[in-house]
Amino acid sequence: MNDKDKLKEVVDQAIADQQVPHVKLKKMGPSSVDIEKLTKPSKETHQEYWGKGLTYFAIGLIIVLVVSIIGFVGYHGLATFIDNHVNVFHFLTSTDWDPGEGKNHVGAAVMIVTSFAVTLLAALVATPFAVAIALYMTEYSSKKGASFLQSVTELLVGIPSVVYGFLGLTIIIPVIRTLFGGTGFGILAATLVLFVMVLPTITSLTVDSLKAVPSHFRKASMALGATHWQTIYHVVLRVATPRILTAVIFGMARAFGEALAVQMVIGNAVLMPYNLVSPSATLTSQLTSQMGNTVMGTLPNNALWSLALLLLIMSLVFNFLVKLIGKRGQK
Amino acid sequence: MDAKKKDKLATAVIYILVGIVVLILAGILGNILITGVPHLSWHFLSSEASSYQAGGGVRDQLFNSLYLLVLTTIISLPIALGAAIYLAEYAKDNWITNLIRTTIQILSSLPSIVVGLFGYLLFVVQFGLGFSIISGALALTFFNLPILTSNIEEAIKGVPQDQREAGLALGLSNWKTIRGIVLPAALPGILTGIILSAGRIFGEAAALIYTAGQSGSTINYADWNPFSPTSPLNVMRPAETLAVHIWKVNTEGIIPDATIVSAATSALLVIVVIVFNLGARYLGNKLYRKLTAAK
């Protein structure tokens, strides 16, 4: 006897016995119960399957997307080394960038050095400001002041990056030109533009990290007779350090990947920067300005894809660092 | 130096740094608005961009930006909504979910130029769509998805657990509870998220220069048949947006009034973004009050 028959028997018996006396099952004879319907999934169950399926599909789509971005960029980026036989070590260390001339002229060191230089300098300048604003918002100011600064940082995030580039071009470059001579284009200009762009990123994440410090830590420190600053320096900042580092890395990731604003002020000359105001090129600026000038599948084009791959790898490294610090911070 | 003096000094330094940042922002905003707004005339908004003479406008760029924004939102919203519902309601706390979250985080931190180049590779070259609005909208969707997803997820997670339990107690299925109770309650947050991401899409340029292209085509605003090549609605035409326009006139610099055009366009962009930000806050608050009867 299968389950359906069993169920039918039980239902029939129950109806015959009227086991639940106050529930009158009017017009319900033993044969009126549709066992098929009782044992099938309900409409709601179907909807549940469909709904759940839709959400699975959406999340799957995003994962496929990320995998294919990495796959496509990786495939084209590696072509330089596999198809064109460029030496990886040479690619990373040589400053000779002229891929049109053949495989011995594909050296990305200039772009790598400049990219790291602007990123590190921007983070270095922005971090003290970001921590100061975050401290002011969480430890010093009234609610009104904090929400005012909150809007300030949100506005800074909202300004499009080309607008920053344009401002750099029309304000910062002329100032540098008069102060230091030369063209004004270079690492200094890029650093200043990036400083404003990463400031809100680092600030808002630092605010979160300071807010996460339990207030009884502060009270305990105050009760010991510490001054406000001693409390901040020895207690609040100590506890929040891992997450502040995470914030700085997020800011650096943004600076490293920023393309147009940097491209507008860096000068776009593949020359090793010998000071902060000599024109140079970053990975992103080179990609932006040269991608349209090369033909798909040729060495100059493949070399550019290798730069893109380098950007992608660095973005993954930044993510990995954030994870690493997060794990250590939990301990 | 004793502790009290140090305390005062540190406080002073913090106030000075905060003051500098506020001044920088005031300077940036003031500069954009003061140099840009005087040139924002009706003529500027309603005439075509010129390729080498002074006095061009941004009519087509403005339309393209708005059109791309609408298309991108239409494409990315269902996907982001589905993914966010999955993460907030269905995902179990295990390594798979962790992996998914990491993936989304990676996507959100990818440089937008890399996303744009991927779009170029896939749509422009591989699928043969060429520099077109649809390629641009898809690239912007990739760029937009992770942020929109996490914004919506936050909004959904903000709905109190009681409300879900109430729905389930009424015998509703999980999905019906989500659709009928959780999503309406999360609507203000979701709307805010959409508008904020719209501001980002509106100003994005790096993902577009190699997907939607850097030049416009002739557009006939009397022709609203989406399949006609001169129609503004045609998704296969190349399209330059406001942000790309700023970049282009500054890097190629053929038109003599590049600075004026970019100042005015920057002002336009910044004003739109500010309106989006304020609108998101206003609409979110208003909807929240209406839906929850809170004061």
| DSSP per residue, A244-303 | HHHHHHHHHHHHHH--HHHHHHHB------SSTTS-B--HHHHHHHHGGGS-TTSHHHHH
Q: Report the gap between the CA of B259 and the closest CA in chain A (Å).
A: 8
Q: What are phi and psi of A106, to 5 degrees?
A: -110, 80
- The CA distance from B51 to A180, in Å, is 34
pLDDT recorded at residue B125: 87
Return the number of other C-beta atoms located less than 10 Å from residue B104's C-beta: 22
Lowest mean pLDDT among A243-257, B129-143, B216-230, B234-248: B216-230
pLDDT recorded at residue A282: 92
DSSP characters for B85-134? Answer: HIIIII--SSHHHHHHHHHHHHHHHS-HHHHHHHHIIIIIIIS---S-HH
Contact A306, A91 (CB under 8 A): yes
Confidence of residue A143 (pLDDT cuts 50, 70, 90): confident
Q: Which of B6, B25, B123 to mutate to test the interface with A (most CBs of A within 10 A)?
A: B25
Q: Tell me the CA distances in angstroms from A136 to A78, A145, A214, one per residue in order.
A: 47, 9, 17
pLDDT recorded at residue A2: 77
Q: Do B14 and A140 touch (CB under 8 A)?
A: yes
Q: Do B113 and A171 touch (CB under 8 A)?
A: no
Q: Is A161 on the interface with B (CB under 8 A)?
A: yes
Q: Do B29 and A155 touch (CB under 8 A)?
A: yes
Confidence of residue A22 (pLDDT cuts 50, 70, 90): low
ipTM of the complex: 0.89
Q: Is the pLDDT of residue B153 over 70?
A: yes
Confidence of residue B250 (pLDDT cuts 50, 70, 90): confident
Q: What is the mean pLDDT of residues A27-44?
A: 70
Question: What class, spelled out in words, does domain B40-292 have in CATH?
Answer: mainly alpha
Q: What is the pTM of this model?
A: 0.87
- The CA distance from B10 to B4, in Å, is 10
Tens of pLDDT, residue by residue over A92-139, are 988 888 888 888 888 889 999 999 999 999 999 999 999 999 999 998
Residues of B in contact with A133 (CB under 8 A): 17-18, 21
- Amino acid occupying residue B132: S
Q: What is the mean pLDDT of residues A64-74?
A: 93
Q: Do A129 and B209 touch (CB under 8 A)?
A: no
Q: Is the pLDDT of residue A206 over 80?
A: yes
Tens of pLDDT, residue by residue over B34-89, are 988 888 888 888 777 777 777 777 888 888 999 999 999 999 999 999 999 999 99
pLDDT recorded at residue A129: 95
| Chain B residue nearest residue A296, CA to CA | B125
pLDDT recorded at residue A311: 94
Q: Do A62 and B173 touch (CB under 8 A)?
A: no
Q: Which of A133, A159, A236 to mutate to test the interface with B (most CBs of B within 10 A)?
A: A159
Residues of A in contact with B145 (CB under 8 A): 62, 65
Q: Is the pLDDT of residue B213 over 90?
A: no
pLDDT recorded at residue A23: 56
pLDDT recorded at residue A43: 81
Contact A288, B205 (CB under 8 A): no
**All domains in chain A, ordered by first residue:** 99-330 (1.10.3720.10)
Q: Do A76 and B121 touch (CB under 8 A)?
A: yes
Q: Report the gap between the CA of A270 and the closest CA in chain B (Å).
A: 17
Q: Which of B147, B153, B246, B271 to mutate to test the interface with A (most CBs of A within 10 A)?
A: B246
- Partner residue opposite A48 with nearest CB, options B20, B174, B202: B174
Q: Do B86 and A63 touch (CB under 8 A)?
A: no
Contact B142, B118 (CB under 8 A): yes
Confidence of residue A331 (pLDDT cuts 50, 70, 90): low
Q: Is A124 on the interface with B (CB under 8 A)?
A: no
pLDDT recorded at residue B220: 78
Q: Do B83 and A55 touch (CB under 8 A)?
A: yes
Tell me which H or E stretch contains A228. Answer: helix A228-231
Q: What is the mean pLDDT of residues A159-165?
A: 91
Q: Report the gap between the CA of A68 and the closest CA in chain B (Å).
A: 9
Question: Which sequence spans correspond to the domains of chain B?
Answer: 40-292
The fraction of chain B above a pLDDT of 90, given in percent, is 35
| Chain A residue nearest residue B113, CA to CA | A259
Q: Is the pLDDT of residue A210 over 80?
A: yes
Q: What is the mean pLDDT of residues A267-281?
A: 86
Q: Do B82 and A59 touch (CB under 8 A)?
A: yes
Q: Which of A162, A204, A318 to mutate to test the interface with B (most CBs of B within 10 A)?
A: A162
Map residue B40 onto helix, strand or coil.
coil
Q: Is the pLDDT of residue A66 over 90?
A: yes
Residues of A in contact with B274 (CB under 8 A): 155, 158
Average pLDDT, rounded, for chain B: 87
Q: Is A54 on the interface with B (CB under 8 A)?
A: yes
Q: Which of A47, A54, A69 to mutate to test the interface with B (most CBs of B within 10 A)?
A: A69
- Partner residue opposite B32 with nearest CB, options A69, A163, A296: A163
Q: Do B277 and A55 touch (CB under 8 A)?
A: no
- Partner residue opposite B118 with nearest CB, options A72, A226, A319: A72
